[in-house]
Amino acid sequence: MVEDSDDDAKLVLYELRRRGYDPLCERVDTREAMASALDRRKWDLIIADYVMPRFNGLDALELVKERSLDLPFIIVSGRIGEDVAVTAMKAGADDYIFKDNLTRLNFTIERELQEAVVRRERKQAEEALRRTSAELQAVFQALPDLYFRLGADGTFQELLAGDPSDLYQPIEDLLGKRIQDVSKKLAGQFQQVIDRVQDTRSLVMIEYNLSIRGERKFFEARFLPLLEDQIVVVIRNITERKQAEERLRYLCFHDILTGIFNRSFFEEELKRLNTKRQLPLSVIMGDVNGLKLVNDTLGHQAGDALLIMTAEIFKNMCRKEDIICRWGGDEFAVLLPNTDRDTAGRICNQLRAAGEKTERESMPVSFALGVATREDIDQPFELVLQKAEDLMYQDKKGVTVARKISFFR
């Protein structure tokens, strides 16, 4: 617990014990003391005051980030302004609670501990997927599925099938035939490789795909010289590896929840669009209003539904050539090549209008939007993006308390 007041710390611990917890707690009020506590043991969560004489909540949060610790971070502080609370949440705090009203503390801790478990399980699953992909690749390389002995003219002289379902035709229909008699698609490629192996007397590897009984399969073929006029071909089915690689590539550049592109893809596209012929290049930054309140009052499933609905609105209202991504959390971004400020502004208006017409469980979809345009190739895009974000935050501040209340009523 990052807290300079022993009495306040005791009050929090009393509330936890009253709710059935038996907390093991260490109170710290300096960066050094917190670093030492983090070094000594693993903790389940961190509760931090926002303002202290020698330390503060944002500094504590930064220390957690420096150590790459995935720990729920809850601010329990005195009355602070909404702008301060927003700053803390954007910095990475999971929630904030006022010291004079600890009724939400138990619920918040339970929720954040459950989410931490989900994050760890997801990370373990992703690591398991990467390990599985690597293991599959190693197995396919070590254990050949098919073994062919070919003549120099491409005639099948011998065939052993580890998995007959990977054969383009039954064994009896292949033996004694040449490749060009079996598959015109592969004939040219295979014969070129055979000639190369004959000339170099060295290993040659290729990949190819075939439609076998209506199913597209991918294979890796290794051609090795045997006798002067014979070639050994070892073929492995690598369909699962290809599918895993494709899935990993998808996950690298897509947001899992909404299915649209993620921030990594956005940054890659910026490199591609960094040319004069893409100017003017506009960007729209959007922030979903009230997502946290939806999560807290209706649950994260409702919050996820709101994000998915927002993504659909962006896809429907933006053009085919526009690049839509989930920037992170409740924020979205759109790159608009060859689009001036006025056109981008009209798209923003279309997004707002579509949100007002869209409801889920009597909730309209509302977002704060900001747009900026790069008109000169020498203009750093970082400044354009920052301007769009600033305008978005200004738009968000324009949402009144009464509007927020009616939004979720």
Evaluate the CA torsion angle 162, 165, 171, 172 in order and state its sign.
positive
181-201 burial code (b ≥16 CB/10 A, e <16)? ebeeebeeebbebbeebeeee
Which is higher by pLDDT, 162 or 35?
Answer: 35
- Amino acid identity, position 293: L
C-alpha separations of 83 from 77, 103, 115, 393 in Å:
14, 22, 25, 11
Q: Residue written as tokens 């949100």?
A: 355
| Model confidence band, residue 333 (pLDDT cutoffs 50, 70, 90) | very high
Query: Rounded CA gap, 288 and 385, in Å?
Result: 18
Q: What's the half-sphere exposure (Cβ side, CA atoms, 13 Å) at 239?
A: 12
pLDDT tens, position by position, 49-73:
888 888 888 888 888 888 888 888 8
pLDDT tens, position by position, 150-165:
888 888 887 776 666 6
Q: Where are the domains of the chain?
A: 6-117, 143-242, 254-408
CATH assignment of 254-408? 3.30.70.270
Residue % of the chain over a pLDDT of 90: 29
Superfamily of domain 6-117: Response regulator (3.40.50.2300)
Q: What are phi and psi of 101, to 5 degrees?
A: -150, 85
Rounded to 5 degrees, what angle do the CA atoms 323, 87, 90 make? 40
Residue 231 has pLDDT above 80, yes or no: yes
Query: Rounded CA gap, 324 and 311, in Å?
Result: 8
Contacts of 164 (CB under 8 A, 6+ apart): 170, 171
Q: What's the pLDDT score for residue 349?
A: 93
| Model confidence band, residue 75 (pLDDT cutoffs 50, 70, 90) | confident
Q: What are phi and psi of 321, to 5 degrees?
A: -80, -10
- Measured N-to-C along each axis, helices 57-66 and 31-40 cross at an angle, to the nearest 10 degrees, of 40
Residue 118 has pLDDT above 90, yes or no: no
| Model confidence band, residue 296 (pLDDT cutoffs 50, 70, 90) | confident
Which is higher by pLDDT, 139 or 223?
Answer: 223
3-state secondary structure the chain: CECCCHHHHHHHHHHHHHCCCCCCCCCECCHHHHHHHHHHCCCCCEEECCECCCCEHHHHHHHHHHCCCCCCEEEEECCCCHHHHHHHHHHCCCEEEECCCCCCHHHHHHHHHHHHHHHHHHHHHHHHHHHHHHHHHHHHHHCCCEEEEEECCCEEEEEEECCHHHCCCCHHHHCCCEHHHHCHHHHHHHHHHHHHHHHHCCCEEEEEEEEECCEEEEEEEEEEECCCCEEEEEEEECHHHHHHHHHHHHHHHECCCCCCEEHHHHHHHHHHCCCHHHCCEEEEEEEECCHHHHHHHHCHHHHHHHHHHHHHHHHHHCCCCCEEEEEECCEEEEEECCCCHHHHHHHHHHHHHHHHHCEECCEECCEEEEEEEECCCCCCHHHHHHHHHHHHHHHHHCCCHHHHHHHHC
Cβ distance 39 to 21 under 8 Å?
no
| Model confidence band, residue 166 (pLDDT cutoffs 50, 70, 90) | low
Tell me the β-bridge partners of 205.
222
CATH assignment of 143-242? 3.30.450.20
Residue 27 has pLDDT above 60, yes or no: yes
Q: Residue written as tokens 């526009």?
A: 322
- As a whole number, mean pLDDT of residues 309-316 equals 94
Q: Per mean pLDDT, which range of 178-192, 267-281, 380-394 is the poorest?
A: 178-192
User: pTM of the entire structure?
Assistant: 0.48
Query: Rounded CA gap, 320 and 324, in Å?
Result: 10
Task: Tell me if 143-242 shares its fold with 254-408.
Answer: no
